[in-house]
Chain A
Amino acid sequence: MAGVLKPDTGSLELAGTPIVLNGPADAARAGIVSVFQELSLLPDLTVADNIALSSPPRRFGLIDSRAQRRIAEEALQRVGATDIHPLAPVRDLPLSRRQMVEIAKALARDPRILILDEATSALTASDVAAVFRVLKSLRDRGVAIVYISHRMREIDELADDCTVYRNGRPVATFTAGSKSAKEIVEMMIGREVRSVFPPRSMRPLPEQPALQVRHLSWANHLKDISFTVRPGEVVGLGGLDGQGQRELLLALFGALIGVTGEVEAFAKPISLAGPRKSGEAGIALIPEDRKAEGLMLPMSVRDNLAFAAMHRFGRFGFVDRRAEDRAVNEIVQLLSIKAPNLDGPVGSLSGGNQQKVVIGKWLLTHPRIILLNDPTRGIDVGTKQEIYQLLRTLADAQAAILLYSTDYAELIGCCDRVLILYDGALKGVLEGGAINERNIVARAHNLAIDSTAPTVPQ
């Protein structure tokens, strides 16, 4: 529909007239605007340049930068992202802000048909709410919206009609609200589900912590954070997006410079001097941006899986292909990675399978402490479920797991404990039955936990 792929068969009709799209430019002219999950912003250009990119305001044939800036400011205002400077280069913005720019960009194009593909995957609840307000007002003005999401709640809140697809085939179309979430999930994965999340282990945890963090601070972003993760435990990191969760994981993995405080892995102090050192200490980080930080897209699945554990396959400075193959095949089976050929480029796999490759790559290093940075962003329900199961399996095998997620349901369903960060400081630890949405939200906004409904001073 966006003109990216040429259909082999079939036709497209816009308001009753058939149209042929020979590229995204055609689609834009027809009023079809898409926001893709994988961001389509230009990192070197400014926010304003990006928003006005496809039809910039012109005066005497040239781009009118003042008018462009006004358009950008209005668009940002509409989605409630007034904290973004229109002249800032997109490169400098965090992921969630970029996504807001992406949405603002789509709105500035005045779409007749708006396609959003996982457009809110990195957004916080308040951003999502602002976006939904705009979408609803667009709908009321007669804009047709196609909203693709893996978050059931968003579909419930927004959609009029739903269609479930599986493997490129429509499974069912129904009016929103006529099916239960459980029924929908069954349609999506094509089999019956009992529970999305595996049951927690009931075994008592060893006293000795796997990871001990004391008074960790970094620049202005992390403030005096202390906590422990025990072997066999899944600890969640929650809170609003951008409160230092990512930085905390990066700090533990040695990617930040100037971190103060003590970190111990299995009672041995570790230096935070870089991913190599952390890897040696048995720490693995599943990064947030799998395309940039997790995978070498053009290289084969096999190579990608073997990279992090290369030292294990080394013999006299050469790679022992047989040991490598054995380990790779094992992990492919364990994670049921669906790749037509292990020697094909990893970039050709689906998002979910790419993510499994990233996870598998680190599992090959036999980590004892696993840090995960929003691992289920933008992947399908089936794979999500497999990942939840995997996390629990790893924990049962005595791995210590620290999971950052922007999805509250995941924190609630997966974690034994949840740490809430706010403005770079640890604001609360929820445990057992106290891990529920209300508590998480309240803590995330730094409100007292006993207030009946979170209210915020304006």
Chain B
Amino acid sequence: MSTVDPNDAVDESRRSALILTSLAGGAGAVALAVPFMASLTPSERAKAAGAPVTADLSQLAPGERMTVEWRGKPVWIVRRTPEMLESLKKTEGEVADPQSTRTAFPTPPYAKNEYRSIKPEYFIAIGICSHLGCNPLGPLAAGTAAPLGNAPGFLCPCHGSTFDLAGRVFKNKPAPDNLEVPPHKYLSDTVVLIGDDSKA
């Protein structure tokens, strides 16, 4: 009859302790990852940098564009001439989302119209292409940029996305969405608050 040498035998009584301590150790390692991953998210200071900004429109000439900074992003204000507004009727059929129904960059309800603005004259949008975040150029006059064809509008030089003067993206372009309209409201006839659209 063979006997097992106690030095070679597997001590089964220790097996459960081994599994339990391994699991506890593993859970500890996972918990350890939390502060490291959290350190990669935006800091409190970055979160606080999103305060609304005001813009004074009184110096903006018709057909011109001004840029203000909000949350580190360029916000465009374009004062559209009557001819520029007229061009939006022609581009209506050539743009991918004329009614701004897509929800990736939701258009505020007060800008869900053919002009994509509160006042038709002033178009306010974030000057970042909805494709990969480049800066579109514009407003460009009709016929000045080949990708735009005969329409006036904005052209993103990175990947050739084009937008009409209401920031609506033309069909079959890399950008899926219209230019984002930030929340905003008019404090007076010529002063607009960007980043806050709350009533009262």
Q: Do A and B come from one complex?
A: no
Chain B residues with a Cβ under 8 A of chain A: none
